[in-house]
Amino acid sequence: MSSIDLWKEMIAESLEQHGVMATAEQINLIAEDAAGIAESISEHSFHPADPMVHELAESQKALKREREKVACVPCHGSGFIETSGPYHGSTSQCWKCRGEGRHTP
Ligand SMILES: [Zn+2]
């Protein structure tokens, strides 16, 4: 259903509710006007950013970043690097992925 059809339906319903008799042709014309009015209202009115939409976009971005992460090579994805020296071995947090095991490329 096109939006103009939706307008026609709503206009016809509204006219009927208010006891206004209109021909199909008149309803068509009114619907076209109403659609035009609605369009110019939405063009001229301020649209505050919907916080939910913003939040969703943010979490999708975060998810995308997470998906783009690659397994860390220096620590083989473990997040820690074990170094064994002649005197002592130590385990330290991976410098590349900061212990996460994965990092953004
Ligand atoms: Zn690492």
Contact indicator for 105, 70 with CB cutoff of 8 Å: yes
Q: How confident is the model at residue 21 (pLDDT cuts 50, 70, 90)?
A: very high
Tokens representing 45 are: 């009115």
Q: How confident is the model at residue 83 (pLDDT cuts 50, 70, 90)?
A: confident
Arithmetic mean of pLDDT, 76-101: 88
Q: What is the dihedral of CA 22, 26, 29, 30, to 10 degrees?
A: -20
Is 50 within a domain?
A: no
The rounded Å distance from CA 18 to ligand 1 centre is 71
Contact indicator for 68, 45 with CB cutoff of 8 Å: no
Is 49 within a domain?
A: no
3-17 pLDDT, tens per residue?
889 999 999 999 999
The rounded Å distance from CA 70 to ligand 1 centre is 10
> Are 66 and 98 within one domain?
yes
49-71 pLDDT, tens per residue?
778 888 888 899 999 988 999 99
> Are 61 and 99 within one domain?
yes
The count of domains in the chain is 2
* Domain with 74 in it: 57-103
Neighbouring C-beta atoms of residue 83, cutoff 10 Å: 9
> Are 29 and 62 within one domain?
no
Q: What is the pLDDT of residue 72?
A: 94
The rounded Å distance from CA 68 to ligand 1 centre is 15
> Are 71 and 94 within one domain?
yes
pLDDT at 45 over 70: yes
